[in-house]
Structure 1
Amino acid sequence: MRFRHRAAAGFATLLLPFAGLVGLASPAQAATSATATYAKTQEWGSGFEGKWTVKNTGTTTINTWTVEWDFPSGTKVTSAWDATVTSSGDHWTAKNNGWNGTLAPGASVSFGFNGSGTGSPTGCKLNGGSCDGTSVPGDAAPSAPGTPTASNVTDTSVRLSWSAATDDKGIKNYDVLRDGARVATVTGTSYTDSGLAKGTDYSYTVQARDTADQTGPASGAVKVRTTGSTEEPPPTTGDKVKLGYFTEWGVYGRNYHVKNLVTSGSAAKITHINYSFGNVKNGQCTVDDTFAAYEKAYTADQSVSGTADTWDQPLRGNFNQLRQLKAKYPHIKVLYSFGGWTYSGGFGQAAQNPAAFAKSCKQVVEDPRWADVFDGIDIDWEYPNACGLTCDTSGPAAFKNLSQALRAEFGSNYLVTAAITADGSSGGKIDAADYGGAAQYLDWYNVMTYDYFGAFDADGPTAPHSPLTSYPGIPQAGFNSADAIAKLKSKGVPSAKLLLGIGFYGRGWTGVTQSAPGGTATGPAPGTYEPGIEDYKVLKNSCPANGTIAGTAYAHCGNNWWSYDTPATINSKMAWAKSQGLGGAFFWEFSGDTSNGELVSAIDGGLR
């Protein structure tokens, strides 16, 4: 996978105090006080991970919090979790999520973010108050609205109504939350939620926001089950592999959880999930973010099974949710994927002792707490004997040796797969390692047939990041799916062991005046989490496709130019994959799709 967002909890270093953040009490209470500290928990190259911790040091409850700060020019937040972070120029604002706004006396809460640049925050404020620990804002957060009532329930929609919240400054609007995630902001006291799955359970709450932009506590929850058959036949997914990557860090800023695979309808249409990513440290496999993987507690309405996690159960987090998903959809197989763009630097040391590496990986996969969750292992080494984020010099035989050791350790009862380069150029990355020789030990290759072109070349030329075929004017020969697949076949890799890769996102430039591919640019187009990258679910509305090139859609909107796959282009790519005898397709990654799984549906339908 080309791009990665690091979103682990981290450990605190370089603690910088920002004292005196001020909390708000309910109208009947006195205001309280709070403190905040900022920690830069990790650094890598030009990037870093930061964490804010807000603590209620007063004697009354805080119902909502908003932290503001300034970064010097050139330093910015690229992704965040456990808070909603926005910016205006160099001024940054973080607001609590629906579930972590209330702080009892003595309680604390943390939120984190990935950033770029080298600057530190200044000018800290909380709820508009100064940072000396003594200021007392004059107004209070809104009260909780009344618990919603549900009516007009259909297969795909429900109407919600609630009684108004109160506030001394007046109510501005209401956030409607479905399963803990905001789905709408409305000014009235009713909302109709549509696009739901039939025969599915949902939970709704509502939060009020006042004219000072303070968010109050959530209302009580109403549970709704859409109409439609609850006894649907087990999925029939065909004989092709339909695999999606589920990102460990997606449960933070993206607020994407295993249950979303159910509510979107995607779980019934896939065959495999790659859980990404485990880390590779000191030549060994290791769990990366333990909180997200097996510690995070899920409420009943957030969980796949509808049962809340308890504080003392032996397994929580994503792993437990995947266990529940497999119980609900027994046809799904889950693989633990190690490496990726960020963590591939550890494979060089692993290749020095492949047997020891393989043994460490099996110990992680077969940990007694989650041994039933995983059906195999996936290795995402970017790239053996070539350069990715770092450059590897292990030699052309290293990848084959590592694959052989993994198969020997895991045996025939586990799946062993690898995500590999799709560089089909002469003397390129496919030629740098023995992918043909390694194929005998692996069940299949996830050929990463995307990220060929993008705003990492800031001035262009504009080109589709996932071209199926070559075309006149393509910036680099061999940078397309057909050439990559043909080269791997020529090296002896069976067609059935090759999966075609699909990106559930687009890559784009800004400063583009030419609608057709091949135009010049001035830099990356703005993106929600990272410049030059945006999810399909956003682009389909913000910049609809108005052309195709080499089997991939593109769009020119204002001065921005994007390329991405749509249901129509995916359908064509799946037809091509079948004509080539490929084993199926895979995609990066689930959270880029729409809430009703448009792209997963296109893969499923196209491979039948």
Structure 2
Amino acid sequence: MRFRHRAAAGFATLLLPLAGVVGLAAPAQAATTATATFTKTSDWGTGFGGQWTIKNTGTSSISSWTVEWDFPSGTKVTSAWDATVTNSGDHWIAKNVGWNGTIAPGASVSFGFNGTGPGSPSNCTLNGGSCDGGPTVPGDNPPSAPGTPTASDVTDTSVKLSWAAATDDHGVKNYDVLRDGTKVATVTATTYTDTGLTAGTDYSYTVQARDTADQTGPVSGAVAVRTTGGGNTDPGPQPGSKVNLGYFTEWGVYGRNYHVKNLVTSGSAAKITHINYAFGNVRNGQCTVDDTYAAYDKAYTADQSVSGQADTWDQPLRGNFNQLRQLKAKYPHIKVLYSFGGWTYSGGFGQAAANAAAFAKSCKNVVEDPRWADVFDGIDIDWEYPNACGLTCDTSGPAAFKNLVQALRAEFGPDYLITAAITADASDGGKIDAADYGGAAQYLDWYNVMTYDYFGAWDKTGPTAPHSPLTPYTGIPKAGFTASEAIAKLKAKGVPSAKLLLGIGFYGRGWTGVTQAAPGGTATGPAPGTYEAGIEDYKVLKGACPATGTVGGTAYAHCGTNWWSYDTPATIATKMTWAKNQGLGGAFFWEFSGDTSNGELVNAIHNGLQ
């Protein structure tokens, strides 16, 4: 997807933990109003990456911070950023730099480092107090995570939960039971029956232990529960429907101000079947979360939240992941896949393919992280492009893609959705010919065939041409650059029709300096766009530059000296009819925020697939 670059978010973020976040307690002088948590962001055998996050849990600003911890002998920091890190033997001290010392109430900052050795931090202090923000006794560590709860005796309005006990050096006092991230009870036993629930509704439960000093440990894994009864209250497409999948961009919560709740208010949630959450990164041959703040830390107010409940500072999961959890509770028919790669982050796939089994294991660690394991139903690989050139050129060979997805299926097993977004270049000797997409199809549930971005203002002088043509037309600049030819070529390589989804762009591509209304005109460069020259959302173009014609099954528009091409509800209807006649599994689109506030294009895909 040529335009899938990450918008500047204004946050310095590190990569996803492959191990859980660990809060560490230590000898302290007094209770603090802040917490410090450690995350192991990566591990490459001879070394590892680490991140500390300091969060202000109080009501007044913190003006400076110092985090101290011990490493076992042989483990040390080799480089660090966003903090000044020193040591005395195995005792390590990190102090804020000038620009990140002040932390407002509810806010957080992070610093990272690279290290060597096998050990993990212990005896952490933050400004002389406990790193978990709670009361401590000198030498008292917090409890371990309890076992993931199991559910039994599920009724219309109640469920019984049971879990394995946590351990603690001074004894466990009780357990907090959390429903959808909010504490609903504190109990001394390792069982709890939650009552007063709604029939036919999805819930997610976790448990957190407290020790005798009232310190809390890590949250357990999550168990998903659906109460009985209630009938089918989900208004969305039901099992057996054609796939209607949309990409939700992680960075869209910033400049685009597009959030998971927008899927509800636009009516789109009731029309889609699947969401691809984009994008996870691929670094050092492993899957990682890209923007941890947007993914699982950003706090939502009640009016911004799908559930209508505000996030609290101490809940185990916030951000997009928690909002997706709430969306699935409201619309149980929706399945969510975590998509890795994209135009910007595909450079890491070549290294990943060199050790496909290790890559697959790292991806499962991310997708099944106990903090959000109930959110994701599968994984999507967006490698642009195997054994070919995208932002960078890959030379891993024609078998690399097949080997990669085979390893993913072996690691994730038969019950996970495993999909891939792939090229739609059907030219002779083009990108479809560069990898074994036919052989790889047996390991995948479907392909998202990126039947858009064929033509655009990267060719500054034109000729003007639609970026998402369905069929060839007289004068098309390059043979093989249409959706119909791409689908035909993939079928010829042995990919079943039902494993192919037709791609729709919720945006247009355009040139300026154009005098000719029909396709094939010359230009002087890319047309102005809100976020990037040469590209604009459908929701803007439908009013700013209405369609003046169609070519190759898609629309184009000439307004002033600008020339745009984009899909409309009418051209989408044509494409969906074609997809059904071809026996395709459905359609997908990039991406939600380009649509109108009432989900005009999502609705067109939904209606067209019926």
1:561 corresponds to which of 550, 560, 563: 563
**Over residues 258-287 of structure 1, what are the superposed CA-to-partner deviations in whole Å (9 max), with x where a residue is unaligned?**
000000000000000000000000000000
Counterpart CA distance in 2 for 1:304 and 1:286 is: 26
What is the alpha-carbon distance in structure 2 between the residues aligned to residue 418 and residue 318 of structure 1? 22
The answer to whether residue 433 in structure 2 is matched with residue 431 in structure 1 is yes
2:317 alignment partner in structure 1:
315
Q: Which residue of 1 aligns with 2:262?
A: 260
Encode CA deviations 1:214-263: one digit per residue, 9 max, x unaligned: xxxxxxxxxxxxxxxxx976323562000000000000000000000000
- Give the corresponding residue for 1:512: 514
The equivalent of 1:287 in structure 2 is 289
| Aligned partner of residue 591 in structure 1, secondary structure | helix
AA aligned to 2:523 is A
Instruction: Mark the runs of 5 or more structure 2 residues left unpaired by the alignment.
Output: 15-59, 61-101, 108-231
CA shift, 1:8, in A, is 4.4
1:602 Cα deviation from its structure 2 partner = 0.2
SS across alignment from 1:371: coil
Deviation at 1:579, TM superposition (A): 0.3
Q: Give the structure 1 partner of residue 374 of structure 2.
A: 372
- Residue 356 of structure 1, aligned match among 349, 355, 358: 358
| Contact preservation (8 Å) 1:245, 1:590 | yes
2:455 is aligned to 453
Whether the 8 Å CA contact 2:9–2:255 is kept in 1: the answer is: no
User: Compared with structure 1, are the counterparts of its residues 392 and 563 closer, same or farther at alpha carbon in structure 2 (3 Å cutoff)?
Assistant: same
Counterpart selection for 2:581 from 557, 566, 579 = 579
The question of 1:234 aligning with 2:240 is answered no
- Residue deviations 1:126-168, cap 9 Å, x none? xxxxxxxxxxxxxxxxxxxxxxxxxxxxxxxxxxxxxxxxxxx
Change (3 A) 1:247 1:12: closer
Task: Determine the C-alpha separation between the residues in 1 that align with 2:280 and 2:439.
Answer: 25
- The TM-score normalised by the length of structure 2 is 0.64
Distance in 2 between the 1:265 and 1:232 partners? 15
Report the residue type matching 2:295 in the other structure.
A
Matches of residues 524-563 of structure 1 in structure 2 within 5 Å? 524-563=526-565
1:474–1:429 Cα change, 3 Å: same
**1:414 partner amino acid:** Y
Q: Quick one: structure 1 residues 538 and 109, their matched pair in 2 at CA, closer, same or farther if it must change by over 3 Å?
A: farther
* 1:8 and 1:288 in contact (8 A); partners too: no
| CA distance, structure 1, for counterparts of residue 237 and residue 246 of structure 2 | 17
Aligned residues: 399
Work out the CA distance in 1 between the residues paired with 2:472 and 2:329.
Answer: 43
Query: Structure 1 pair 277/12, CA: closer, same or farther in 2 (3 Å)?
Result: closer
Matched, 1:498 2:500: yes
Paired residues of 1:499 and 1:582 also in contact (CA < 8 A): yes
8 Å CA contact 1:283–1:349 kept in 2: the answer is yes
Pick closer, same or farther for the CA change 1:559–1:397 going to 2, 3 Å: same
CA distance in 2, matches of 1:12, 1:428: 37
Query: Counterpart of 1:149?
Result: none
Q: Which residue of 2 aligns with 1:592?
A: 594
Deviation of 1:547 (Å): 0.2
- Counterpart of 1:598, as a letter, is E
Tell me the amino acid that sits aligned with residue 505 of structure 1.
Y
> Using a 3 Å threshold, how does the CA distance of structure 1 residues 314 and 106 change in structure 2: closer, same or farther?
closer
Q: Contact between 2:234 and 2:330, CA under 8 Å: does it hold in 1?
A: no
- Verify the 8 A CA contact 2:234 2:333 in the aligned structure 1: no
* Distance in 2 of aligned mates of 1:381 and 1:517: 31
Aligned equivalent of 2:415: 413
In structure 2, give the amino acid aligned to 1:4: R
Mapped contact 2:13–2:292 kept (Cα < 8 A): no
User: Matched residues in 1 for 2:105 and 2:367: separation?
Assistant: 34
Mapped to 2, the partners of 1:10 and 1:320 lie a distance apart of: 20
Distance 1:472 1:12 in 2: 48
Is the contact between residue 422 and residue 481 of structure 1 (CA under 8 Å) also seen in structure 2? yes
Q: CA contact under 8 A between 2:236 and 2:273: conserved in structure 1?
A: no
The amino acid that maps onto 1:2 is R
Deviation at 1:11, TM superposition (A): 3.2
Deviation string 1:361-417 (CA, Å, 9 cap, x unpaired) is: 000000000000000000000000000000000000000000100000000110000
Structure 2: distance between partners of 1:336 and 1:425: 30
- Tell me, in whole angstroms, the C-alpha distance in 2 between the residues paired with 1:458 and 1:379: 31
CA distance in 2, matches of 1:382, 1:272: 21
> 2:349 aligns to what?
347
Alignment CA distance shift 1:560-1:312 (3 Å): same
Match of 1:2 in 2: 2
Paired residues for 1:178-189 under 5 Å: none
- Counting aligned pairs with the same residue, the percent is 85
TM-score where L is the length of structure 1: 0.64
Which residue identity is paired with 1:541?
G
Contact 1:527 1:533 survives alignment (8 Å): yes
**Match of residue 481 from structure 1:** 483
**Distance apart, 1:2 and its partner CA:** 1.7
Question: Matches of 1:359 and 1:533 in 2, distance apart?
Answer: 37
Amino acid at match of 2:309: T
Which string of whole-angstrom CA distances, capped at 9 and with x for unpartnered residues, describes residues 465-521 of structure 1?
A: 000000110000000000000000000000000000000000000000000000000
- How far residue 5 of structure 1 moved from its aligned partner, in angstroms, is 3.4
**CA 1:490/1:270 → structure 2, altered by over 3 Å: closer, same or farther?**
same
CA drift of 1:107 comes to 5.4
Tell me the equivalent position of 1:395.
397
Contact 1:451–1:466, Cα closer than 8 Å, also in 2: yes
Contact 1:498/1:583 (CA < 8 Å) preserved in 2? yes
Query: What SS does the aligned partner of 2:307 have?
Result: coil
Give the deviation of 1:4 after TM superposition.
2.3
- Given that residues 237 and 272 in structure 2 are in contact (C-alpha distance below 8 angstroms), is that contact kept between their aligned partners in structure 1? no
Please state whether the residue corresponding to 1:554 is helix, strand or coil.
strand
CA distance in 1, matches of 2:103, 2:419: 48
- Kindly provide the amino acid, as one letter, of the partner of residue 493 in structure 2: K
- Compared CA separation, residues 389 and 106, structure 1 to 2 (3 A): closer
Q: Residues 203-218 of structure 1: matches in 2 within 5 Å?
A: none
Secondary structure, aligned partner of 2:262:
helix
Structure 1 counterpart SS, 2:354: coil
CA contact (8 A) 1:303 1:321 kept: yes
Distance 1:598 1:236 in 2: 17
Per the TM alignment, residue 108 of structure 1 is displaced from its structure 2 partner at its CA by 10
- Closer/same/farther in 2, CA of residues 344 and 512 from structure 1, 3 Å limit: same
Distance 2:481 2:351 in 1: 29
For residues 296 and 12 of structure 1, do their structure 2 counterparts lie closer, same or farther at Cα, with a shift above 3 Å needed? closer
Contact preservation (8 Å) 1:5, 1:249: no
Aligned residue for 1:351, secondary structure, equals helix
